[in-house]
Homo-oligomer: A and B are copies of this chain.
């Protein structure tokens, strides 16, 4: 009575076999009605809970998935994690948290966890693959892994993401539409794919509008606020400072706005600023940040759905591209008169 009941206990108590109890409780397998209810009732009465380890060992599945991000301290992932967690729960999966910290060894460890049976599948939000240099992709592609948000070069793992190029291009088009002709860009950490795509989108928009792309207008950032502040400073001290700055993420946009203010420049009066990601409270900034919004929760959910498919051995999932939206808020305005 005090010990944890096992399936055998309830079988004994009811005079049926463990097999029947198992079938009744797991819902699978036909069990006659009278027996079924009796078993269910007894299980409830004894407060029976199946032992997951035993079940996992037998079924060779853990019913959990691994979600690996580059930096768990980055609020950017919050909504995505929320989406993943939600979809996982609905499908009966638990979510294991992985934090790669951009460390290849750590990433390799997480792959090992997959092989160990720690998790049945993995959602990767890091830009790299361990041992990728060895062209080991075929081996990896066989694992139930879905890539979200990031792009992994030279890999054809199923993935769900946004069109970073188009989103960046559209953001810059918005600035051009406001009459800006001097539009600078603070990139993410090049040569990462995501940063490159956003940068190329900026370039493309300028090019199609016949605007020059002076090299000094492309400042190489790293997604961090402080760096962006410094780079913004350099931009301001150019002989022809930009009237608009497009940042590869919101955090850098915050830094830029801060720095501009510090220099007594008005946003958007003197300089317009556009971010990317629409992180938590971006709209609560003052002025609210104009930025590219990604459907993060949906991306998380979609990634999890895709992973469920992959784990079911479905045919290789087609890459999914989710729509983005340019949120035009308070940090962008008409280009100032330059003379």
Contact = CB atoms under 8 A, between A and B. Distances in A.
Interface of A: 4, 49-54, 56-57, 60, 62, 64, 67, 72-75, 78-79, 81-82, 85-86, 94-97, 99, 112-113, 115-118, 225, 251, 254-255, 257-258, 261, 280-281, 284-286
A281 B257 CA distance: 13
Contact of A113 (B67, B72, B94, B257): B94
Q: How many copies of the shown chain assemble into the complex?
A: 2
Nearest to A288: B258
A106 B251 CA distance: 33
Contacts of A67: 97
Closest 6 CB pairs of A and B: A53-B56, A53-B57, A75-B75, A254-B284, A73-B82, A95-B97
A115 B281 contact: no
A94 B94 contact: no
A214 to B, nearest CB: 28
Nearest to A99: B85
A54 B297 CA distance: 35
Contacts of A56: 53, 56-57
15 contacts: A49-B116, A50-B116, A51-B57, A52-B62, A53-B62, A64-B96, A67-B97, A72-B85, A73-B79, A75-B75, A86-B99, A96-B97, A225-B284, A251-B284, A285-B286
Contacts of A281: 225, 251, 254, 281
B78 A78 contact: yes
A207 B255 CA distance: 40
Given A97-B96, A281-B254, A49 B225 contact: no
A67 to B, nearest CB: 8
Contacts of A74: 78
B85 A78 contact: no
A52 B118 contact: yes
Contacts of A285: 285-286
A120 to B, nearest CB: 11
Contact of A96 (B4, B96, B255): B96
Contacts of A62: 52-53
Nearest to A79: B73
A72 B81 contact: yes
B117 A99 contact: no
